[in-house]
C-alpha cells in the first residue's frame, strides 16, 4: 500500500492509505495463471466437522492440521494450484517441520489467502434469508493476516432462491457487505475474492437461476463501484447458473455453460480479470465438466478458473480417513482431480 498526505480546506489530512494497483494486478494474474486454480481449504469448524464425520475422523485441530498438511504437501501440486484459501485456524498452524502453512505454500510458489467473513447468519426481519457478518474490526484483522503471510482474501454471501426470495433487502445488504469487504482488502493490497453464492438447493428452473444470478451480479457491481473497488484488482467467485437440485428436469453441462456465459456477458464488466467457480454441491466430475464446457465457448473476456473445495478434496478425504499409511494414495487422488480441472481451464477435459 502507498501513503500520502493532502490538504483539504487548508487543513492537513494525516496519511491516507492508497491501494497499490500494480501489486494487486500482479497478485490477481498469479492467481488466475493459465492452467491453474484455487484450492478452497477454508472450511469453518462446523463445515469440516461434517466432512470428517462422514468418513469417521474425529474433528480436532490436530486432525485438521494433518489433513491440510497432506493436501498442501502433495508432490508437484503447484503445477495446477495457484492459491489456497485458508481458515483462521489453519493460517496459524505449522507443518510437522515447524513451518507455518502460509510459508510452506509460498515456498513452493502457491499464494496463501484467507477467508475473512464470520459466516452467514439469519437476517433480521427477512425470514429464510442470510446476511454474512464480520465487518466489525475487519481492518485490524486484515492487518494481522498480512503479517501472517496472506496475500488475498475471500468473503461469501449466501443467496437462496425460493418463490419470493431473494428479496431486494437481502441482495442490497449482502452486496454492500461484499463491497465494503473488497475495499478494505484492497486497502491492504490484498486481492479480494468476492463470492455471491446463489444456492443450488431448491426446485427452481434454470431460467429462474439465471434471473436471480443476473439480479445479484448487477447489484453487486453497482455496490463495488459505489465503494470505489478496483475491478482489475479483484476476482469474482461465482456459482454456475444451475437448476435447483430438486427440479425434475436436469440440465447438461453444455446448457449450464451457455446460460452461465449469457448471464455473465449481460452484467459483468470486461475489465474484471477472472471468475473462479465454486462447485456448490455438484459432484467433482460434474463440476469439472461444467468448467470444461464453459471454456469451450468463444469470445469470453475473462479468465474462467476454479476455486473448488469439496470437488477437489472429496476423493482424497475418503482415501485418507485419518491414517498416515493412506497419505500417498490420497495425495495421488488430489493431484489427479487438480490435473483434470487444469485441463478444464482450456476446454481439454
Q: What is the pLDDT of residues 274-315, one digit of tens each?
A: 999 999 999 999 999 999 999 999 999 999 999 999 999 999
Q: pLDDT tens, 196-243?
A: 999 999 999 999 999 999 999 999 999 999 999 999 999 999 999 999
Assess whether pLDDT exceeds 90 at residue 100.
yes
Four-residue CA torsion sign, 301, 217, 261, 114? positive
pLDDT of residue 219: 98
* pLDDT band, very low/low/confident/very high, at 5 (cuts 50, 70, 90): very low
pLDDT of residue 306: 98
Would you tell me how many other CB atoms lie within 10 Å of the CB of residue 106?
14
Report the CATH number of the 21-344 domain: 3.20.20.70
Residues 130, 123 contacting (CB under 8 angstroms): yes
Selection from 275, 276, 286, 213 nearest residue 245 by Cα:
286
* Cell digits of residue 218: 448487477
Given 115, 130, 160, 237, which residue is catalytic? 237
Task: State the pLDDT confidence band at 19, using cuts at 50, 70 and 90.
Answer: confident
Catalytic annotation present for 237: yes
- Domain range list for the chain: 21-344
pLDDT band per the 50, 70, 90 thresholds, residue 16: low
| Cell numbers given for 59 | 474433528
% of the chain surpassing 90 pLDDT: 95
Selecting among 129, 151, 195, 197, the annotated active-site residue is 195
Summarize the confidence of residues 259-270 as an average pLDDT: 98
Tell me the whole-structure pTM to 2 decimals: 0.95
Tens-place pLDDT, residues 131-155: 999 999 999 999 999 999 999 999 9
Residue 7 has pLDDT above 90, yes or no: no
pLDDT of residue 166: 98
pLDDT band per the 50, 70, 90 thresholds, residue 17 = low
Residue 89 to residue 110: CA distance in whole angstroms: 19
3-state secondary structure of 77: helix
Query: Average pLDDT of 176-196?
Result: 98
pLDDT at position 268 over 50:
yes
Preceding omega of 166 cis (within 30 degrees of 0): yes
DSSP character at residue 268: S
**pLDDT reported for residue 12:** 43
Sign for the CA dihedral angle at 175, 142, 26, 237 comes to negative
Q: DSSP states of 206-258 as a string?
A: HHHHHHHHHHHHHHHHHHHHHTT--GGG-EEEE------TT-SS---HHHHHH
Q: DSSP state, 298?
A: S
Render pLDDT for 304-343 as a digit per residue (tens, 0 to 9): 999 999 999 999 999 999 999 999 999 999 999 999 999 9
Catalytic site includes residue 195: yes
How high is the pLDDT of residue 10? 44
The rounded distance, in Å, linking the Cα atoms of 252 and 259 is 11
Model pLDDT for residues 63-96, shown as the tens digit of each residue: 999 999 999 999 999 999 999 999 999 999 999 9
Amino acid at each position: 500500500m502507498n501513503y500520502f498526505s493532502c490538504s483539504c480546506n487548508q487543513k492537513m489530512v494525516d496519511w491516507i492509505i492508497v491501494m497499490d494497483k500494480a501489486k494487486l494486478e500482479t497478485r490477481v494474474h498469479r492467481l488466475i495463471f493459465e492452467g491453474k486454480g484455487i484450492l478452497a481449504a477454508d472450511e469453518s469448524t462446523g463445515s469440516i466437522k461434517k466432512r470428517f464425520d462422514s468418513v469417521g475422523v474425529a474433528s480436532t485441530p490436530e486432525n485438521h492440521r494433518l489433513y491440510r498438511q497432506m493436501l498442501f504437501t502433495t508432490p508437484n501440486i503447484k503445477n495446477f494450484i495457484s492459491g489456497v484459501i485458508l481458515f483462521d485456524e489453519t493460517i496459524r498452524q505449522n507443518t510437522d517441520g515447524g513451518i507455518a502453512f502460509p510459508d510452506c505454500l509460498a515456498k513452493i510458489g502457491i499464494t496463501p489467502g484467507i477467508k475473512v467473513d464470520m459466516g452467514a447468519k439469519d437476517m433480521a426481519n427477512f425470514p429464510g434469508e442470510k446476511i454474512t457478518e464480520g465487518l466489525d474490526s475487519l481492518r485490524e484483522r486484515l492487518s494481522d493476516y498480512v503479517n501472517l503471510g496472506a496475500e488475498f482474501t475471500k468473503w461469501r454471501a449466501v443467496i437462496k432462491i425460493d418463490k419470493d426470495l431473494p428479496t431486494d433487502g437481502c441482495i442490497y445488504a449482502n452486496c454492500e457487505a461484499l463491497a465494503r469487504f473488497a475495499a478494505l482488502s484492497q486497502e491492504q493490497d490484498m486481492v479480494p475474492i468476492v463470492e455471491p453464492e446463489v444456492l443450488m438447493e431448491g426446485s427452481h428452473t434454470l431460467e429462474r437461476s439465471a434471473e436471480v444470478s443476473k439480479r445479484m451480479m448487477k447489484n453487486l457491481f453497482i455496490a463495488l463501484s459505489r465503494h470505489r473497488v478496483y475491478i482489475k484488482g479483484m476476482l469474482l467467485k461465482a456459482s454456475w447458473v444451475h437448476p435447483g437440485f430438486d427440479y425434475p428436469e436436469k440440465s447438461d453441462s453444455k446448457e449450464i455453460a451457455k446460460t452461465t456465459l449469457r448471464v455473465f456477458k449481460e452484467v459483468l464488466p470486461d475489465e474484471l480479470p477472472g471468475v473462479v467457480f465454486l462447485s456448490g454441491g455438484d459432484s467433482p466430475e460434474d463440476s469439472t465438466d461444467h468448467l470444461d464446457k464453459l471454456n469451450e465457448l468463444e469470445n469470453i473476456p475473462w479468465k474462467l478458473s476454479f476455486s473448488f473445495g469439496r470437488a477437489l478434496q472429496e476423493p482424497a478425504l475418503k482415501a485418507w480417513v485419518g491414517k498416515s499409511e493412506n497419505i500417498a494414495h490420497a495425495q495421488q487422488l488430489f493431484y489427479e482431480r487438480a490435473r483434470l480441472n487444469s485441463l478444464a481451464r482450456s476446454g481439454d477435459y
